[in-house]
Amino acid sequence: MPPDQKQKAKEIILEAGARTLREKGFHGVGVDGLAEAAGMTSGAFYSNFANKDALLEGVIEASVPR
């Protein structure tokens, strides 16, 4: 496994998660739906984020200009 694969997976989940949360709302989608939107399994989701709240925090953090 390439060393940057985990980071790339996390970025894919963040991008797909941000899009899906905008479309369906926080309560309108579960972890399985978020993982599916990213083309990944829920196991891959949980290897990058502890839960849906953690994903939302990551989406917010990624959207704040530095």
Q: What angle is formed at CA 52 by the lines to CA 1 and CA 41, rounded to 5 degrees?
A: 40
Output the pLDDT for position 29.
98
Output the pLDDT for position 3.
76
Would you identify the CATH topology of the domain 5-63? Arc Repressor Mutant, subunit A (1.10.10)
Determine the Cα–Cα distance for residues 65 and 1; give it in Å rounded to an integer.
31
- pTM score: 0.90
Interval 8-37: pLDDT, tens: 999 999 999 999 999 999 999 999 999 999
Determine the Cα–Cα distance for residues 55 and 38; give it in Å rounded to an integer.
12
Q: In the predicted model, what is the mean pLDDT of the chain?
A: 95
Give the start-end residues of each E strand in 2-58.
none
DSSP 38: T
